[in-house]
Every structure is written in structure tokens, then in C-alpha cells.
Amino acid sequence: MYLSQREAIILDQLLYSHTEIPLSSFQSLLQVSRRTVYREITNLEASLKTLNVEIVNERNKGYKLVGHAETLNMLREENTARNQYVFSKDERQDGIITTLLVNEGPVTAEVLSQQFAVSLNTIYQDIDAIEERLGANQVNRLPAQGFTLDVDEINNRNIVATTIYNNLSPADSATYLSDLSEIGASIDKPFFLTFISDTSLKAVVESFRQSDLDAGKKMNDNQIRPVLIQLAYALDRMQAGFSISDIVSIETNVPSDIIHLAYQITGHLADQLKINIPINERNLLVNQLEGINFKNKESIFNVNFDTQLSYKVQRFIRLVSEKTSNDFRQDKRLYKGLISHIRATLKRIENDPITSFKDTSLEPVVDQYKDLYVKVEESFKAVFSTDISHEEAAYILMHFAASYEAGPSLNYQPRLLVIVSNYGGAGKIIKERLEKQFQAIFQVDITQLSEIDQLDVGSYSMILSTGPLKNFPVEYQLISPVLADKDIDLLKDFIETYKLGHKNPLTNHFGDDNYKLTFEEMRDSILIADDLLKQFEVKDINSKEHVEATVEAVIQSLKPLAVSDDALVSQAIIKRYKTTPIGIPMTNMSLFHSVHEDVKTPVFKVYNLSSPFYVEGMDRQMILLKRILLLLAPAPLDANVKTVLGWISQSIIENNINTDLYNTGNEETLRNLLSRLFVEAIQESGKGDD
């Protein structure tokens, strides 16, 4: 049975009172209106009904509990166990802040003293400490009434959601959220989740499950939990009559699919709860979802591709490589993971620069890679000109740590399952270390805590978990999030005692259909690359009066073989040039590109200008443009064309050598560079991407 803070206090009074309790007593104790007391009693009645316990209101006397003696004794035992929880000072102060923010009116020191089982003097000391944290002007001390916190609605939600999340362990919250369909079956609702109603939590979880998140968009557990909590608390606030006073606008350059996803989720919620969700609330969710690291494939031809961010991420990787003397630029997966993660990080900082989520599970990673952490943090600040929290820096560190530990990717036996709270971080490090330490021994599967029910756990020879698993049906071993030496020894002992007869047969993950598809994709990529090489050229052209006219002349020269309507293609390229910096920093070249229905075939050509122009670079500094790199593709964009042209665009700023060659190389030099690039990329693609 899950109870809110007020319900727990009401039940506590009813369980130990030998006489009826009048409504006015609850009002005085809770410092709320009669209407609020009625609502809390009604909610408590619904919870007790499953136990055949009633709250009876005796006329002119008050309320009392009626039920079997055994049931009432059981409730008293549960209540005692609940009240025996000992809060740390930080937990207690976080709990007080949250209590003050979720309540409609002042809360007395007496109520807080009873709720957290400490003296009145301790509560007053906590209030003093909270004033230092939030500012004295935000804490109101009302004589004979209690305390309130003076913050606007959006800050109220941010502080409450952040505080709740920071005080929840991943295992507790994941277990509870996944078990919401069985409300009433357990009494161990995490304390900080009691500030949010189960109705709202369940509605949000269900709405996310019904949305398009499973249709291509993926985000890890540590990212989805804050959004679930924020949205569920927002529903409670809306239904209690609180609204956002300021107009909330959708941030610029938010992809349309994010907007669709947010509106889809809020639409589900409105239908489920039979409420109206204002446009402000829907737009707020859009901006929150934009701060999530969705694992989308990056391409220069995406409408929302950010050339400035792409350049900065490449520069960031280069700077970390220089500081550590480890060339992280060789890991193609590192760039893909970082550009999505850093975009989300910067968006979170922009939307809410004050509050930050805590994640203590990251500390073992930071401890193991202390020097790398320092270099990552320094490099990030140097490139992006902003400070980030310790947790954000640690999450980014995980990408570099996984790259550092990278080894060969093979299928192993016996089968080994590793359960983690965040596959994007610890999971990658663990898998890379396992494959490096135990080549050709284990077949490794990594899964998130929330996805356990989708697996046949009985089919694994050994199961490891980075956190405790409640009511897990088979034996498992606890390990460190970074796979410490003692965990390696554990696996070595397991290998020594493993019986050959218990090994799982190797499974064929590369069936005929998949092989045929992979072969066809590879064949098409080779043909596209070959065609690009055949038509590639470095050409000298006469500059016109300005950049726009020069681009028009270049595109006109491609008609009729490569483009049909040169005016429309030029217009599309110029529009992007005017809105997005495309100059390559510290060079004399810019990459002009477009996907257009009037482009007939993929094009990559280089043009040397007779007279230079000043244009804005990706780093917002001016460069002297002497060379145009032109990259065109037909619309709709074929997946294989997108891949091949993506190899070219990424290689331009991949390292200093490539950049210098594109900047000054002649036709023969660049043709050789492209040939080598295509061969390496096709060979790498044939190996697969774990």
C-alpha cells in the first residue's frame, strides 16, 4: 500500500488514537484547508479498501478506523517500520524542501518534526541550512503558520523533480515504476516517490510505452527517469490547479519528430486522465525531450544537422587526444556517441543552468580514470566555453573510457548476461573490457535494468549486475560498474570450473537474409563510391561579385548531367549558407551541401576561386574563402548515398592531415585520399558496428 505524506500522517493518527478524531484536528496538524483534508481522507480510504479497512466518520465526533484486529495490528507494524527509516541530514533537508514545495500552504515545524522523526530544534537548524542553499528571500517564516518556499511554478517543478531523482537509487525507481500495474501489492514505495501520486506516475509510464519511443528512438534509463518524474509531478500540479504563468515557446531548431513525440505523449495523458493539457505544458515537454540524448544517426544531410556543433565535437576529441597522447580520433563510434550526448548536454544547460542531477554510480568510473576525467573536463570547457557539472563531465568521460578500453568484437561462449542501469555508459565499458580480457570465451549480452522482463534469464550460463536485483528469479553476481579486478578474478574462477557439457551452442547471428542484405548494401556503396571517384575533379573557376553569384555559376555548370533546375538547387544551397556558418576554421575552404529533388546524381567536386571572399566559419570566426567543396545528393535521400557522402563530410575535419589535404591538395592527391577513405570505410562497415 503506497501512501502520500499527508495520508501517512492521517493514518498514523487514526491507528494510535483511542477516540474519534475531528476534522479540525487534521486541519491543524497538516496546516491545510478542509477541502484538502477531505481529499486526502478519500484517497486513504481507497487504499485501505483493499485491506477491508474503513474510515468511519461518526457524526459530531470525528473519524476512526474500522477493521479486523489482525489487519489493524499489521498496519501498525508496517507504520512502525516506515517510521523507523533514518534520514541523513542531506536527505532530510531535501525532504523538507520537497514537502514545502508540494504543499498548497504553510507547513509547521511540528508536522516536519513528526514526519522526519527529529526534534523541533533540528528542524529549525535545517530551515536555516535551506535558507543558505536557496537564499533567504525564498524561505518564508510565517508566525503561527509555518514555512513556505517562494519560487515560481517552473522552478518549483525543476527543484522537486531534481530532488526526487537525486534521492532515488536506479534499482528502486526502476523496480517501482515497472511494478505500477500492481499498485497496492507492496508497501515499499521509495520515500521520495511518495511526493508524486501513483495515478500520475502510472499514466506517464503508460503514455511513454504507447508513444513512438520504441519506433527508432532510444534513450537510457538514467535519462528517461528524470523526464518521467518531471512529467508526473507536472500532472499533479496541473490537477491541483497550478499552472505556468510565463509563455513557454519551443526552442529553435527542435526536430519535428521531437515535437510530435511530446504532443503524442501529452495527448495520451489528456485522454487517460480526462484533463486539458495547455499548450504551455506541451511545449515544456518538447524542450525537456530535446535535452535527451536520443541515439539518432548523424548526417550532414539531416535538416537539423548542426555544422558548428559537429566541428566543435571533432575539435573536442582532437584536444583530448593531444592532452592524453591517445588518439581517440581513430574510434569512429566515439564521434557518433559524443555528438548526440553533447547536444543534449548543452540543451539541458540552456534550459536549466541551475539544477543538476546527481548520480553516485559514476564515481567508480571517475576514480578509475582520474587523469582522463581531468583532461575531458578541461577540454570541454576550452572548446564549448561553458562549465558543466561533475555528473555531466562523468557521463562524457564514459564515452572516452569505453573508447580507451575498446578491443575486438567477437561472439563468445558460454553466454554471459550483464545487467546495468545505463547501457550507454557503464554497459559499454564493461562489454569492451570483457571482450578484451576474455577473447573467444564468452558470448556477452548487455541489458538495462528496465528490460530484464524481455529476456529468458534462465538461458544464460552466468549473470552479472551492477546493482542489487529485487526478487530476481535466478542466481547472479554483483560487480562494479567498471568491472574491477576482483570481478575479473570472479570470471576467471568461473571459467576454471565451467563444465563443457553446460556450454550453450554458438548461435548464428548472420543468417542468409541478413548476409544478402549486407552484401547488397556493400555492393551499392561500392558502386556509389566508384561513380563519385569517376566524376570527381578539382576545377579553377572565376569568382563572381559575391559568394551567392559564384555558387549559382558553379551549380549552373553542372546542368544538365548532375542537376535539372540549377536555380532551385542554388537557392537551397544559398539559403543554408546564409543561416548556418559553413567555413572550416583555420582553412580557406567551405563545405556547401544540399539534398534536393532537382539533383540527379550524387556529386562531390572541389572549386578553386580566382578571387577570395570573407565568410563565417563554424567557430563564428571569419575565414578567407579560396576553395569551395561541393556535396550534393538527390532527394529523397537514399540510405547508401547518405552513408557514402557522410564518409566524405566527416573525413574533412576528422584530423589535421585530412583537413590540410582538402584545403590545399590537387586533384590527384584528393582522388587518392578519397580512394583510401572509401576502401577503409567499406571494410569497416563489413565488420559491423557493435
Q: Which pLDDT tens digit goes with each residue over 168-222?
A: 776 666 666 666 544 443 446 778 888 888 888 888 888 888 776 644 444 445 6
- Domain shared by 346 and 264, yes or no: no
- Domain shared by 654 and 604, yes or no: yes
- Domain shared by 586 and 649, yes or no: yes
Mean pLDDT confidence for 592-611: 93
- Domain shared by 612 and 471, yes or no: no
Which of 147, 168, 202 represents a domain boundary (last residue)?
Answer: 147
- Domain shared by 285 and 186, yes or no: yes
Q: Which CATH number fits the domain that encloses residue 612?
A: 3.40.930.10
Q: Domain for residue 410, yes or no? A: no
Q: In the predicted model, what is the mean pLDDT of the chain?
A: 78
Whether 333 contacts 403, CB under 8 Å: yes
Nearest Cα neighbor of 370 from 340, 412, 325, 400 is: 400
Which of 290, 325, 346 represents a domain boundary (last residue)?
Answer: 290
- Domain shared by 181 and 271, yes or no: yes
Q: Domain for residue 442, yes or no? A: yes
| pTM (2 d.p.) | 0.45
- Domain shared by 139 and 158, yes or no: no
- Domain shared by 387 and 357, yes or no: yes
C-alpha cell at 607: 572549386
Dump the DSSP string for 495-559.
Answer: HHH--GGGPPPPP--S-HHHHHHHHHHHHHHHHHHHHHHHH--EEEE---SSHHHHHHHHHHTTT
Q: Domain for residue 422, yes or no? A: yes
Provide the pLDDT for residue 362.
67
Whether 343 contacts 390, CB under 8 Å: no
Block residue for cell numbers 509531478: 233
Q: How confident is the model at residue 611 (pLDDT cuts 50, 70, 90)?
A: very high
- Domain shared by 532 and 669, yes or no: yes
pLDDT-wise least confident of 135-149, 290-304, 579-593, 620-634: 290-304
Looking at residue 468, the DSSP 8-state letter turns out to be -
Whether 288 contacts 227, CB under 8 Å: yes
- Domain shared by 259 and 161, yes or no: yes
Flag whether pLDDT at 49 surpasses 70: yes
Query: Given phi > 0 = left and psi -120 to 50 = alpha, else beta, which region is 320?
Result: alpha
Mean pLDDT confidence for 636-650: 84
- Domain shared by 344 and 280, yes or no: no
Q: Domain for residue 125, yes or no? A: yes
d(CA 56, CA 59): 9
Q: Domain for residue 297, yes or no? A: no
Provide the pLDDT for residue 554.
95
Flag whether pLDDT at 295 surpasses 50: no
Mean pLDDT confidence for 495-511: 39
**Interacting residues of 352 by C-beta distance below 8 A, sequence separation 6+:** 158
3-state helix, strand, coil split of the chain in percent (to 5) is 60, 10, 30
Which of 290, 324, 345 represents a domain boundary (last residue)?
Answer: 290
**Domain carrying residue 323:** 307-404
Q: Which CATH number fits the domain that encloses residue 476?
A: 3.40.50
Structural domain count, the chain: 5
Q: Which pLDDT tens digit goes with each residue over 128-146?
A: 988 887 776 688 898 888 8
The dihedral built from the CA positions of residue 446, 452, 456 and 460, taken in this order, carries a sign that is: positive
Provide the pLDDT for residue 411.
34
- Domain shared by 469 and 523, yes or no: no
Q: Domain for residue 584, yes or no? A: yes
Q: Which pLDDT tens digit goes with each residue over 221-268?
A: 566 778 888 899 999 999 888 888 777 777 666 676 777 788 888 888
